[in-house]
Structure 1
Amino acid sequence: MSSYPPDGPPQTTLRQRLADLRGPAVPPRPLDARALAALAANPGCGRRALLDGAGVDKTALAAALGSPAAFGQSQFAIVRGNSFEARVKGDGGAELLRLTHARLGGGAEPPGPDSRVPDLTAAGPEGRAARTALALREATAAGTWTLLDHPMLALEVAGTPAYLEPDAVVVHPDGRWTVVEIKSFPMIDGAADAAKVGAAARQAAVYVLALEQTAGKLEGARVGHQVLLVCPKDFSNLPTAALVDVRRERAVTRRQLERLTRVEELAEGLPQGLCFDPARPAAELTEAVSAVSAAYAPECLAACELAFHCRERARDAGEPAALGRSVRGELGGLTTVEAALAAAAGAGPCTGTDPDSDSDPTAAALREAARLRAEALASAAARPPYQAPETPECPC
């Protein structure tokens, strides 16, 4: 019988296995809130769960596979966002604390000279996460307005820790913690682009989940379900704020993250010697990536660096999911596009030997749709071509 402790050599073996997967000389790429939100949106994709858990740089991997990602922020947008964030947090975060009090004051005294901005510097993400937890504990006990600038939060995902860095967290005098998201897109007449606000809400929900793990260990601390979204007002560079309720996004993200297969379970089923080091030949990387199951959908194009590679493979395999999750769901037991076309033509294993058999309702619906389409095309071909009426000449 082994005498190893629960956190002994098995964990070391897993870490070594993950290091071998990404390449011995390749540093791990940390997970961020955007990656976790995208991962939660597609929890059935073992490929993304394994690569993110192992810290593989998917951008470099996609480029090595010949399908580079074609999305991401421009350098101009990054510079503009950093400049706006510095303006919001200037003067010791006075403007940011004022906006927080104006939207979420709840009768508390406005922030004054006693407001604090603790130093969160430490060595490594583990050290910064520990320093952040200590600062949250001290701020909650002190009962004063406190701004944590770029704190580091820890969240366990599929058995591996992820370190997250929100723009800011504000501690209220009553012990409440509020996540602050600072974005550079404008808020015109008090409203911002709905799609961008939704993306910010999904990202902030990950931070709320991470904060809840820390708040559960402290008496009197609680995490607010409303996030403060700070954006430029109208067409100026002046900051304004709005509240975004993230309870729905938090519940969905938590449920989806809990469904993720643990990384060690995914790694156990892989052949020995498998490696996703971008420096390896493209043919070897293609074989390695194909060894991990994927769940491609068109929505991946806006969230995953490997989406173009997975789309090409899904099209080659005739997977209906390449046309959308709704199409895949409607086809039921027809797992390929070829099977769906055969069913529409009255052939295939799901239609039975009788051409008029309705043994499979999906196949029967496809045959009926194909019949109606053929009738519509025949009727259109039988009609004489359209001729526009002659326009009388103008007497003038």
Structure 2
Amino acid sequence: MTSLRLALVTRRFWPLVGGAEMVMANLAEELTQQGHQVQIVTAQWHPDWPKQITHRGIPVIRLPNPSVRGWGTVRYMMALGRWLRSHEQDLDAVYVSMLKHSAVVATSRFLNSNVPVVLRAEGAGETGDCAFHESANFGQRIRRSCQQADGFVAPSQQIFDEMAAAQFDRDKIRFIPNGVKVGPLKTDVQRQEARKALATANPILTLAESAPLVVFTGRLHPGKGLTKLVRAWPRVLQRFPMARLWLIGEGPQEGELSSMIGAMGLQSRILLPGAFDTVEDVLAAADAFVLPSLHEGMSIALLEAMVANLPCVVSDIPGNRILIDPEETGLIFPVDEIDRLADQLIRILENQDLSRQLGTAARKRVIEHFSLKRNAEDHVALFHSLMETKRLR
């Protein structure tokens, strides 16, 4: 296939790091490596941020986004519309993260254009885009505008079903599961080196070589079930007093979690180190990964942990069940059962044979079905198909 000129639009982007942002960053990098011309268009969340940067070799354009509630969104939408109009002749397709304000602008701007607009839905359940349309100001209007796009990407079956139930054209929805880069298998030596590197970069991350380390990576958001994880940790400590839990990320629940950890006297046992641009060293240093979410589409964080050969303990929700077969590629626990969460973490930490078995099977599943290379190729095929459809109109 010929090289494409693509704009990936995401209102949040680095250094604001979450699952949706990592999806766009990883996809942009892989598309570039496959020979396509990619630029990322995002918002300038702070006035002192430069308007243009390069991230992983990808040009990033930041558009005005004042902090004043309401006006900031309007100002960003106006700037995005102008940017798209002025670059229409330089683009073959536009790919937008989330069925929200960016999607409204792109869809309306290119409604009668030869440039296809593809919208990617994010999240499922109460935190998903379809739920946003039900609760947000002008949500129904936003949904109607989004429904006019040329194509849609649903990264999980649950998101596909929610979009279809919300009257999005089923024939336009393409199920493209998330993908992650497949790196080399880590060794025990690399685990030790990763721990040393993290401790050098940030002394609070220093821990004994023998200390069990469990990590969570993602947004610190109520939908991630992190307060349950914090409440479960003392039970893990009863069995493994040296165990440490790192909650890697940023988000609206950071203050609440910090206060909770302090009130429970767990400051040295549970750390909130902030967000990382890449979590490779964190995953290499870890002994297990935990994802206690209440809702998920298809978690990039979970995929990254699986391909890193880590045994994973996850909540029993549809988005996680797509990736985790209980007792085969990971362990699950009922969402509201804190004791069961603790028990599964203890099983992982005390049974090395089970840990290795689960990690190996998890990595194999990702390599076979959820590689970033395959994900990018599926996107390119969709873009070409929609370009051809528009050309023939």
TM-score by length of 1: 0.27
- Larger Rg over CA atoms: 1
TM-score by length of 2: 0.28
- Greater percentage in strand: 2
